Amino acid sequence: MQRELEIILTRQLASYLATPAFIVDPEGNLLFYNDPAETLLGHRFDETGEMLAREWSTLFSPTDANGAPLPPDELPLLIALRTRHPSHREFWITGLDGARRHLVVTALPLVGQAGRVLGAMALFWEGEAR
């Protein structure tokens, strides 16, 4: 099955960005993350490959500032998909390398012609360490 063109172009853009980027399909399943995201997540995309929403959303053990686990529904990518609006927040993850990281994330829904939701893209920045 070929991906939607808009998703293909988003991946090509992401693969050139120095900013970590993450792309999901309309169900929230992970389709791609770029090289800079590999550094942040502690794993190479070639090794993890595509992942179901329930896998990646818990894999990195996201928590809020107080260390309370964040349910998948409260992650920006899944909020962007659900609401069709951009979503922005900070949280903490544990990378697959075991390192704890503070992330600032902005997620954008990818909406094509005729209002088709094609997926979402998130851009990540590393926040101030605490």
Residue 65 binds other proteins (CB under 8 A): no
With residue 91 as reference, give the H or E element that holds it. strand 87-94
**39 and 22 in contact (C-beta within 8 Å)?**
no
Residue 44 binds other proteins (CB under 8 A): no
**Minimum separation from the CB atom of position 79 to other proteins (A):** 24
Separation CA 60–CA 122 (nearest Å)? 15
**Minimum separation from the CB atom of position 72 to other proteins (A):** 25
Name the CA radius of gyration of the chain, rounded.
Answer: 14
Separation CA 18–CA 102 (nearest Å)? 18
Task: Give the SS3 label for residue 44.
Answer: coil
**Minimum separation from the CB atom of position 8 to other proteins (A):** 6
> Interface mask (CB under 8 A) for other proteins, residues 88-127, using x and -?
------------------------xx--------------
Q: Using the minimum distance from each CB to other proteins, give the nearer residue, 76 or 109.
A: 109
Point out which residues bind other proteins (CB under 8 A). Answer: 1-6, 8-9, 11-13, 15-16, 112-113
